[in-house]
Amino acid sequence: DVVLTQTPPTLSATIGQSVSISCRSSQSLLHSNGNTYLHWLLQRPGQSPQLLIYLVSRLESGVPNRFSGSGSGTDFTLKISGVEAEDLGVYYCVQGTHALWTFGGGTKLELK
């Protein structure tokens, strides 16, 4: 099974600071059709997860462009360019390349 490892598990940031979250896969997430099904979610406290980024780097409709995703193969990064208060919560990477979805362990973004 594919294992996604997120680092760091916790991230403390001030408002306006830029931060990055890493997601490493135990297998390549490049599908035979040429797509890489690695996505990023944000779960705010008490809420359902929300899709931020899909297919590595594509911004979901309505998501602010301070969020960006990059990477390929097994290494991926989510960057927030200027954290805002509404960005606090737990971020998850998730893969769908290998039939079964797999979630990373999550990264909790807190205010410093």
Partner 1 sequence: EVQLQQSGAELGKPGTSVKLSCKVSGYNIRNTYMHWVNQRPGKGLEWIGRIDPANGNTIYAEKFKSKATLTADTSSNTAYMQLSQLKSDDTAIYFCAMSLTYWGQGVMVTVSS
Contacting positions for partner 1 (CB under 8 A): 1, 39, 41, 43, 48-51, 54, 60, 90, 92, 94, 96, 99-106
Of 17 and 24, which CB lies nearer to partner 1 in the complex structure? 24
- Given a contact cutoff of 8 angstroms between Cβ atoms, the answer to whether 4 and 100 are in contact is no
For 108, phi and psi rounded to 5 degrees? -90, 120
Of 13 and 63, which CB lies nearer to partner 1 in the complex structure? 63
As measured in angstroms, the least distance from the Cβ of 61 to partner 1 is 9
Alpha-carbon distance values, 73 to 3, 18, 77 (Å)? 13, 24, 12
3-state class (DSSP) for residue 24: strand
As measured in angstroms, the least distance from the Cβ of 18 to partner 1 is 24
Tell me whether residue 33 is exposed, middle or buried, using C-beta atoms within 10 angstroms of its C-beta: 0 to 12, 13 to 18, 19 or more: exposed
As measured in angstroms, the least distance from the Cβ of 39 to partner 1 is 6
As measured in angstroms, the least distance from the Cβ of 16 to partner 1 is 28
Of 13 and 51, which CB lies nearer to partner 1 in the complex structure? 51
